[in-house]
Amino acid sequence: MKALVIGAQGQLGRALQATAPMDAETIAPAESACNLTNGAHIERWLAEVRPDVLFNAAAYTAVDAAESDVATAELVNSVSVGRLAESARLHGARLVHVSTDFVFDGETNSPYAPDDKPNPLSVYGRTKREGELAALHASSETLIVRTAWVYAEQGKNFVQTMLRLMRERDEVKVVSDQIGTPTYARNLALALWSLAGQSATGVYHFTDAGVASWYDFAQAIQEEALAVGLLQRACAIVPIATKDFPTPAIRPRFSVLDKSKAWATLGCPGPHWRQALRAMLGRMTPNG
């Protein structure tokens, strides 16, 4: 399998490169050479590489900034994804596009299945849903994988933010009434490779297993980081309500995804998020 990775320098793009199967040839150009919003870049790379699979790991993920930067969010998350899908079809590549739990409104109390009706609450969620529709319209070979709460050893993510704040402060406040599932980028990347290798199409959901609030996640980060020496002392973690931490974008209250379809295709469930967090933090230690 020959694969071209868009967004190669992001946390998922790096994970896709690190987890590539032995028989895969992975081409991962820098953003400056292959920008999602630059149609000429995309056409040139597709024509030169002739990949079997095109992974789109690029997105506008600044959820709050998107509320005031609507044009950029639309360009990156919807318009450019539609163009990418069409180019992939014309060059004989299967597009694997990563989407988000934010396409749902979070008003249910049961995990969202891939065919549940989206109802995004934010510009970010809306533009990601528009990107899904554009990609699916362009080709019946498109694979959409929705995920949530992704983190990795590097990059801007909740784990890295919490580790920094816990080192700097005696107390951190974390929202306790938003529920979802943390997802280690490495596990997501492994799932994407497997689904692509099985020529899966349509919409799938993948996160790690289990359920947590952001407060639960923060507590686990501190406990696991203390255990491996990434933190030298504990700080107080104070649960707060969403209403006490207003943000420009509305977040879904409950965004747990039903992974049964993906897990059946993959042949096994994903690891529990706490187990995955422990493994990731272990890799961040000097001997990890």
Hey, what are 64's tokens?
């709050």
Nearest residue to 184 via CA among 163, 164, 154, 227: 154
**212-213/179-180 β-pairing:** antiparallel
Residues lower than pLDDT 50 in the chain: none
pLDDT of residue 36: 84
Distance, in Å, from the CA atom of 20 to the CA atom of 257, rounded to the nearest integer, reads 25
Compute the distance between CA of residue 22 and CA of residue 31 in angstroms, rounded to an integer: 25
What pLDDT is recorded for position 288? 60
> What is the Cα–Cα distance from 260 to 266, expressed in whole angstroms?
10
Q: Which residues are catalytic?
A: 124
> Tens digit of pLDDT for each residue in 17-56?
999 999 999 999 888 777 888 888 889 989 999 999 999 9
Residue whose entry in the numeric block shows the structure tokens 């272990």: 282
Strand bridging mode 202-205 / 171-175: unpaired
Residue matched to tokens 């590489």: 49
The pLDDT > 70 percentage for the chain reads: 99
**Of 52, 56, 54, nearest in space to 23 by CA:** 52
Distance CA 216, CA 179 (A): 9
In three state form, how does the secondary structure of the chain look?
CEEEEECCCCHHHHHHHHCCCCCCEEECCCCCCCCCCCHHHHHHHHHHHCCCEEEECCCCCCCCHHHCCHHHHHHHHHHHHHHHHHHHHHCCCEEEEEEEHHHCCCCCCCCECCCCCCCCCCHHHHHHHHHHHHHHHHCCCCEEEEECCEECCCCCCHHHHHHHHHHHCCEEEEECCCEECCEEHHHHHHHHHHHHHCCCCEEEECCCECCEEHHHHHHHHHHHHHHHCCCCCCCEEEEECHHHCCCCCCCCCECCECCHHHHHHHCCCCCEHHHHHHHHHHHHCCCC
Q: pLDDT value at position 41?
A: 86
Rg (CA), the chain: 19
Structural domains of the chain sorted by starting position, each given as residue range(s) with its CATH number in brackets:
2-157+183-209+255-270 (3.40.50.720)
pLDDT value at residue 227: 94
Please give the model's pTM, rounded to 2 decimal places.
0.95
Query: Mean pLDDT score of the chain, rounded to an integer?
Result: 94
